[in-house]
Amino acid sequence: MRFLPAGDLAVCVELGEAISVEVNTRVRALEFLILQKGLTGVVETVPAYSSLLVYYDPRAIGYEPLCGAITELVPQATTAVLPPPRIVELPCCYDDPELGFDLAAAAKRLELSSEDLIRLHAGAEYLVYFIGFTPGLPYMTGMPERINIARLDTPRTKTPPGSVGIGGIQCCIYSVESPGGFWILGRTPAPLYDPGASEPTLLRPGDRVRFRRIGRAEYDAIGAAVAARSYEPVIS
């Protein structure tokens, strides 16, 4: 473990130097303990793959005492302290080239049928390591090795929100319109980021995500419900 100063208002607590479920679980457990115990002087926390950024108020606690208090929590930071994860079902329409515009090309590159690619992608359960970069964007693990694919040679400048893509061993869901180099297999009508909602972001660190394959008619129906603010995401 290392404490890396990030200016005078934050410290980066690095729990490992690799991307793994084990390290990330300890990051989320440490965050949970810090928030649960209301550690003096802590203002907010940002989990990432293998580190936790802890914002603090130096008027309330010094750098060394803060690092000391965090160090004491680290041995307890295991899966055991975390509440059971939420399981979020994300409807995803793969079967429309307008939405999953790279599906056929990605299948060809992977030497799979489109049907098998969809089945492999939708059949997996994904873990949200953390949310970052843009509002509500999940960094996830859990993609089957068989659909590991080099990113696009030329990233596109615009990808519509809700686009579900693969690149490397990552699955990405764009939360807002952004550039990017992922192969887009489909699109979810469930808003990952809705600035008008009381809780604008759908996913949280530690969530499990399952994709449910839907057709274009259901995609449009859910889209209409989202627009009418009557859509309820399926979370268990």
Partner 1 sequence: MIRILDAGPQTTVQDLGRTGQMRYGIPPSGPVDRFAFVLANRLVGNPDTAAALECTLMGPRFELTAAGAVAVTGADMPVTVNGQAATGWRTIAVKAGDVVKLGPARTGVRSYIGFAGGIDVPLVLGSRSTYLRGRVGGLQGRALRKGDELAVLASGPVTPRRVARDAIPDYAIEPTVRAVLGPQADRFTEDGLRALFGGRYEVLPQSDRMGSRLRGARIEHTRGHDIISDGIALGSIQVPGDGQPIVLLVDRQSTGGYTKVATICSSDIWRVGQARPGQSLRFQAVPVDEAHRLLRESDTVLESAVREESA
Residue numbers at the binding site for partner 1 (CB under 8 A): 4-10, 12, 14, 17-19, 31, 43-53, 55, 58-59, 62-63, 130-137, 139, 175-176, 193, 195, 200-201, 204-205
What is the three-class DSSP state of 46? Answer: strand
Report the phi/psi class of residue 227: left, alpha or beta, with left for phi > 0 and alpha for psi in -120 to 50. alpha
Structure tokens at 112: 């799979």
> What is the closest distance, in whole angstroms, from the C-beta atom of residue 63 to partner 1 in the complex?
5
Distance in angstroms (rounded) separating the CA atoms of residues 7 and 15 = 19
DSSP 74-140: GGG-SGGGSPPPPEEEEEEE-S-TTTSTTHHHHHHHHT--HHHHHHHHHHSEEEEEEE-SSTTPEEE
Cβ distance to partner 1 smaller for residue 14 or 95: 14
Cβ distance to partner 1 smaller for residue 105 or 150: 150
> What is the closest distance, in whole angstroms, from the C-beta atom of residue 15 to partner 1 in the complex?
11
> What is the closest distance, in whole angstroms, from the C-beta atom of residue 211 to partner 1 in the complex?
20
> What is the closest distance, in whole angstroms, from the C-beta atom of residue 163 to partner 1 in the complex?
16
Structure tokens at 47: 């989990």
> What is the closest distance, in whole angstroms, from the C-beta atom of residue 193 to partner 1 in the complex?
7
Structure tokens at 84: 């059971």
